Amino acid sequence: MSINNWTDNLKYRHILIPGLVLILTGCVANNNDMSGIAVDKLARTDSSKLLPVDCLLPAQVRRLGSKMNYLAPRSAIKTTAAECEIRGGEYVAYDRADYRSALNVWLEKAKQGDAEGQTYVGEIYEKGLGLPADYQTAFSWYSKAAEQGYSRAQINLGYLYEKGLGVKKDMLQALNWYRRASGVEGDDLDYSSAIEVKATTLAQEKTVILRQEIKRRETQIKNLTVSLKSARQQIKQEGKQLKDAREKLKELEQQQKNTSDETVRSNLQSSIASQKQKIKLAESALSNLESTISQDDRLVGQKTTDVELQKQQLASISPAGPSIEIIDPAIFVTRSGELSVRIRSGNSTRVIRGKIEAAAGLKKAMLNNRPLSIDSKGIFHSAVTISNQPKTVSIEALDNLGVKTEYSFRLIPKGGSNSPGIDENRLGRVSQGVDFGRYFALVIGNNEYENFPSLKTAVTDAEQIAQVLKTKYGFDTRLITNADRYTILSAMNEIKSKMSAKDNLIVYYAGHGERDATTLQGYWLPVDAEQENTANWIPNSAVSGLLNTMSANHILVIADSCYSGSMTRSSVARLDAQLNDQQLKKWLKVMNKTSSRTVLTSGGIQPVLDGGGGEHSIFAQSLLKELTMAQGPIDAYKVYLKVSSEVQQKSSSLGFDQVPTYAPIQHTGHGGGEFIFVKG
């Protein structure tokens, strides 16, 4: 079916950005299960009190011996404003916090050598919070906490090394810190990752936005120039007509002067009056044209100046260069610092699947000096011949600005007999005896918006997702449909009280979303959200902050909308298909004890469909399919790989470019672990 045939049947979930429309899908829930969360019974207080804050609790009065009382140091926690008030704490409102107010809470604790405090101070400097980010100071504080074995600091430190922020870019150092954070340090487990060689995402996205804005303004200038040319031709014609009218008036006045016939003079007088009126109208039209031309001239000058300034700003952004990511196979970093892929003996070829993106446009891509075929989404597949000897694979990508990115790894044959592949049945058998904790799900979906277009498939998507999570995977599931801001925030606050540090949580959201083109901040839009008024919008940073207050071991956000604030996938440890049963069980135990905070989205900043999958969005349809068909435990990264491939194919057939993403959520406590779905 052609894309035009879909326009009457498909609705879209929009992100409204100046000059750009992002179309998002959503999910929904109802109010049946998880009776411990009684949202409707709560007093509907100011929803801002449900947002996360840095809270400084009052000092405790302690007694030493039988006669001496003293005040203990004030303790710092991350919690909600409401809970901070209940406990008598001191805080600054979420939307007013800056680096000084945040440091006031955590700096003293950090100076005392507390790893948590040192990490939070590092994050304050990395975020900036009203000031330019100070990556060098952040690096210093992260290093102190990382050396104490604090996994959150180790992840943050690895990220700075990976991006070259405040320290020289060093991918191997980054991966070694990710390895230490995940706990994969034993002699029999190597750290495997979907490694990206990628410049700063922010610089890339700002470059794209600036180029779009420059192109838009240049189009406006071109249209105005054409309009000015037409107006000048018109004013020339109007001027000639005015000149002719004035000459005609002189001729009539001369005729009136030369005749004595009263009848003729009367007729001439009437003609003179008519001619004067004609001249007056022509002069008024000419004046209006001149004013319009003058305004358009000034507008062209202003827009030309704006374009020049934006071009200077674009030139000041360091070229990010292309990004290269190897999606499959998993890349390992060995203890000697080598990037490698282990392959089974006896295989003659290995298919390398990856993705290349270039904000400035890709000029060429090569794999081992032969051209790579890249599709419209940047995906490539290339078979590499292998032998019994290690082989180097080198990938180069050159963009239209002449910036080149290089990526190399080695294919290492694994001696001995082939290890069995890790299918779900084997994973289920080996995982027996591993305590994965309890599983909770908060499913949010909005169809009926008050101030935005209504959505079509969100409720159905969410109901089915919630049903699968509950019946097949044993989740304690709460569903919320058509929820306003207060309901969403209060449900997130209440669910955290039910969980322990061993438990797992999925937060599934679908509905309209918004993304600020300047700050790149993403928002979830409740049903009471208003256009051009952010009062009832929920920032992704607030969602991340709430996740940061939760004690759950593993948290996975599944957003059928945009979600900003994510890191790269490099800090996600991947499952190695070459592991034997003993190693596989060890890997499961390591991933289970190491915290994770990850997000799976239906698309990046590109449009995504609210339909295309029958009664579901294409993303929800693919996700439901994978969760339903899984025969045993399955890790979130594997779910992402399968869903991503299917969504890209289906969206392409409809003329859309929809690419799901999966990554850790920054500054929420990701420790390098992985979310694992366990059947039953």
For the stretch 427-440, pLDDT in tens is 888 888 888 999 99
Q: Output the pLDDT for position 103.
A: 92
pLDDT (0 to 100) of residue 184? 78
Q: Is 558 left (phi over 0), alpha (psi -120 to 50) or beta?
A: beta
Closest to 563 (Cα-Cα) out of 662, 469, 475, 486: 662
Measured between alpha carbons, how far apart are the two ends of the chain, in Å? 39
Q: Give the pLDDT confidence of 154-172 residue by residue, as tens digits.
A: 999 999 998 888 998 887 7
Which one, of 128, 47, 40, lies nearest residue 94 by Cα?
47
**Cα torsion 653, 657, 663, 667: sign:** negative
Q: Give residue 416's pLDDT band: very low, low, confident or very high (50, 70, 90).
A: very low
Q: Counting every residue, how long is the chain?
A: 680
The answer, yes or no, to whether residue 22 has pLDDT greater than 80, is no
pLDDT band at 12 (very low <50, low <70, confident <90, very high): very low
Most confident of 106-120, 295-309, 381-395, 526-540: 106-120
Across the range 286-307, mean pLDDT stands at 83
pLDDT computed for residue 478 by the predictor: 95
pLDDT at residue 21 greater than cutoff 60: no
Tell which wins on pLDDT, 532 or 482: 482
Q: For residues 501-506, give the mean pLDDT.
A: 95
pLDDT: is 204 or 361 the higher one?
361
Cα dihedral 221, 521, 601, 535 sign: negative
- In this prediction, residue 195 has a pLDDT band, given cuts at 50, 70 and 90, of low
- Judge whether residue 6 has pLDDT over 50: no
Q: Name which of 324, 355, 338 is nearest 175 in CA terms.
A: 338
Q: Is 550 helix (H, G, I), strand (E, B) or coil?
A: coil
Q: What topology is assigned to 3-34+421-677 in CATH?
A: Rossmann fold (3.40.50)
Domain boundaries, the chain: 3-34+421-677, 213-316, 323-414
Give the C-alpha separation, 547 to 558, whole Å.
13
pLDDT in tens, 319-346: 567 888 888 787 776 656 677 887 766 6
Contact 565, 548 (CB under 8 A): no
Q: Which of 83-87, 235-239, 323-327 has the highest mean pLDDT?
A: 83-87
Specify the CATH architecture of the domain 323-414. Sandwich (2.60)
pLDDT of residue 526: 94
> Which string of DSSP letters, residue by residue, matches 186-233?
STT--EEE--EE---HHHHHHHHHHHHHHHHHHHHHHHHHHHHHHHHH
Q: Are 55 and 105 in contact (CB under 8 A)?
A: yes
Residue 147: predicted pLDDT = 95
Does residue 536 contact residue 526 with C-beta atoms inside 8 Å?
Answer: yes
Could you give the C-alpha distances from 278 to 238, 282, 594, in angstroms and in order?
Answer: 12, 6, 86
Tens digit of pLDDT for each residue in 131-155? 888 999 999 999 999 999 999 999 9
Tell me what pLDDT residue 309 has: 77
| Mean predicted confidence (pLDDT) in 568-574 | 79
Q: Are 510 and 446 in contact (CB under 8 A)?
A: yes
Q: How confident is the model at residue 449 (pLDDT cuts 50, 70, 90)?
A: very high
pLDDT in tens, 92-133: 998 888 888 899 999 999 999 999 999 999 999 998 887 888
Taking 50 as the threshold, does the pLDDT of residue 468 lie above it? yes
How far from chain centre, in Å, is Cα 586?
33
Angle between helices 115-127 and 99-111 (to 10 degrees): 150
Torsion sign, CA atoms 434, 677, 646, 662: negative
Asked if 523 and 515 touch (Cβ cutoff 8 Å), the reply is yes
Q: How confident is the model at residue 26 (pLDDT cuts 50, 70, 90)?
A: very low
Beta strand pairing status for 61-64 and 52-56?
A: unpaired
Least confidently predicted of 19-23, 51-55, 175-179, 630-634 = 19-23
At residue 536, the 3 state secondary structure works out as: helix
Kindly report the average pLDDT of the chain as a whole number.
Answer: 81
Residue 232's pLDDT is what? 84
| pLDDT at 10 exceeding the cut of 50 | no
Q: Range with the lowest mean pLDDT among 194-198, 243-247, 382-386, 465-469?
A: 194-198
**Above 80 in pLDDT, residue 254?**
yes
pTM for the full model? 0.71
